[in-house]
Structure 1
Amino acid sequence: MGEAKTRLVKRAGGIPCGEPEAHHARLAFIALEDGRAAEAAAMRLRAKGLLVNVADRPDLCDFTTPSIVDRDPVLVAIGTSGASAGLAKQLRLRLERILPPGLGLLAARLEDMRDAIRLRYPAGPDRRRALDIALGESGILDPLDPASAARIEDWLAEKEIPGTTGSVEIALVSGDPEDLTLRQCRLLGTADTILHDAAVPAAILDRARADALRRELPFDGEPSEGLTVILRLD
């Protein structure tokens, strides 16, 4: 466990040191099989001003470390607030199989092409909608497609600016977000304006983009450009 924590610190750019050099440190990782020894070490290091993580002892931890899927520069961190490291590990293993090794290359290519993307789509809303569609499921830059990174130039060369406009009405079957269909979740995640009945709960509205315009029905104003989703709950 101690070796694993050391690798974690090094991978994050930290410099591991022993307890005698603790006055140089900010974080302490303790991996001792003897429970009393672990408690004593936690007290000593905490008294020196360090934040402490004790392996397999969440009750002694000031912080916990997530299980990480590394597709540099893309990092996916899975944490359970110390409830179950085993659960976090199994989620990581499944995500490792889903996320292609080339995902980091796609992110790096998007960063390299940032100026070209801004030149192609100078208006912020157009740029966001174009990226939403390109990076969406089955889109030309689908993050789960290992070949997506090689298609960025083809995407930028498209003559038409893709976008989602107009309005879509959704009749909710309940106020439980678990009852949303995949299509409804996708629409909420890309909508520019959300018009909703007063009865629609916050748990549903929180599935929408944080920067989307939200207005309660009836609405007499003009929605913003792009896609408008109208939510009704009977």
Structure 2
Amino acid sequence: MHSLPVFLRLTGRPVILTGEGEAADAKRRLLERAGAQIVGEEDSAARIAIVSDGDAATAERLRARGVLVNATDNPDLCDFTLPAIVDRDPVLIAIGTGGASAGLAKALRQRLEAMLPARLGKLADGLLAARGAIRARWADAGARRRGIDAGLAPGGMIDPLRADAADALGAWLAAEGQAVAARLVSIRLSSDDPDELTLRAARLLGEADRIYHPPSVPALILDRARADAARIVADGPPDHPGEGLSLWVTLGEGIA
């Protein structure tokens, strides 16, 4: 991973914007949407800058002051890059290529725009408002996570790709049997390359509560799992894997 994706709260904070023309205007609109206070290079309080014309001298001068810089079309002088954004406020999806291709990021954004319902943000707002009711329904943290996962799963009552998911929140909270039953699923990998994971394997890794695996399974594969999923080195599948979804992950024959 070449960069750490973060979301910055810029409301009321000074951000330097230099350069003129269409590129500067586009960056200005983006900063204004984020609530930033747009200032010039001379502002000593600013810690973030966008050099919209990619001018190397300006970028280097700002970086020497400790300012984090984005220099358009000059990736070697960028401390951060600006992603393509899918905005379903409060849901934000950022797509970056590390400066390799803005066109690729744009194409991916357009695909996602077409997939995601316009009311996805309403679902997020509804889940926030229902936080107390969700905790009351599932007092145990593990059961709560599994219940939410089941509701949001493909075909679930609040599947985020359903246009009416936000309207189904009440029915989802009142429904029975939403938690995922305890189960163990075996995955035999055909490659140690995480980019060659099947869609099924990638989905299960993203859902699992714990992953049992021999030492030969590489960390790059395990990194595709949820950050809070337990990784457990074992010689074979467990007899009692625990509640929720557990995986037994192995590599195919001949793969080191």
Pairwise same-fold verdict (TM > 0.5) = yes
Q: What one-letter code is carried by the residue in structure 2 that aligns with 1:154? A: A
Q: Distance in 2 between matches of 1:6 and 1:39?
A: 20
Paired residue secondary structure (2:171): helix
Q: Distance in 1 between matches of 2:65 and 2:99?
A: 23
Task: Determine what percentage of the aligned residue pairs are the same residue.
Answer: 52
Q: Distance in 2 between matches of 1:172 and 1:31?
A: 45
Cα distance, 1:169 vs. partner?
Answer: 2.1
**2:181, 2:243 within 8 Å by CA — same for their partners in 1?**
no
Residue 26 (structure 2) pairs with residue 9 (structure 1): no
Match of 2:47 in 1: 26
Q: Which aligned pairs between 1:131-170 and structure 2 lie closer than 5 A? A: 131-170=148-187
Residues 29, 163 of structure 1: alpha-carbon distance in 2 compared, 3 angstrom cutoff: same
**1:168, 1:228 within 8 Å by CA — same for their partners in 2?**
yes
Cα distance, 1:64 vs. partner?
Answer: 1.8
Q: Distance in 1 between matches of 2:230 and 2:64?
A: 49
Q: 1:199 aligns with which of 206, 216, 222?
A: 216
Which moves more between the two structures, 47-56 or 190-199? 47-56
Quote the RMSD (CA, aligned, Å): 2.2
Residues 50, 110 of structure 1: alpha-carbon distance in 2 compared, 3 angstrom cutoff: same
Aligned residues: 229
- TM-score (normalizing by structure 2): 0.80
Q: What one-letter code is carried by the residue in structure 2 that aligns with 1:7? A: R
**1:213, 1:224 within 8 Å by CA — same for their partners in 2?**
no
Residues 10, 221 of structure 1: alpha-carbon distance in 2 compared, 3 angstrom cutoff: same
Q: 2:111 aligns with which of 94, 108, 118?
A: 94
Stretches of structure 1 lacking an aligned partner (at least 5 in a row): none
Paired residue secondary structure (2:92): strand
Q: 2:248 aligns with which of 213, 230, 233?
A: 230
Cα distance, 1:222 vs. partner?
Answer: 4.6
- TM-score (normalizing by structure 1): 0.87
Q: Deviations over 1:116-141 (max 9, x none)?
A: 01101111111111111111111111
Q: Deviations over 1:17-43 (max 9, x none)?
A: 2334x22422222234xx7xx233334
Match of 1:80 in 2: 97
Report which of the two has the higher share of helix.
1
Residues 191, 164 of structure 1: alpha-carbon distance in 2 compared, 3 angstrom cutoff: farther
Stretches of structure 2 lacking an aligned partner (at least 5 in a row): 1-22
Q: What one-letter code is carried by the residue in structure 2 that aligns with 1:11? A: R
Q: Distance in 2 between matches of 1:111 and 1:150?
A: 14
Q: Deviations over 1:129-181 (max 9, x none)?
A: 11111111111111111110000100111133421312222233333334433
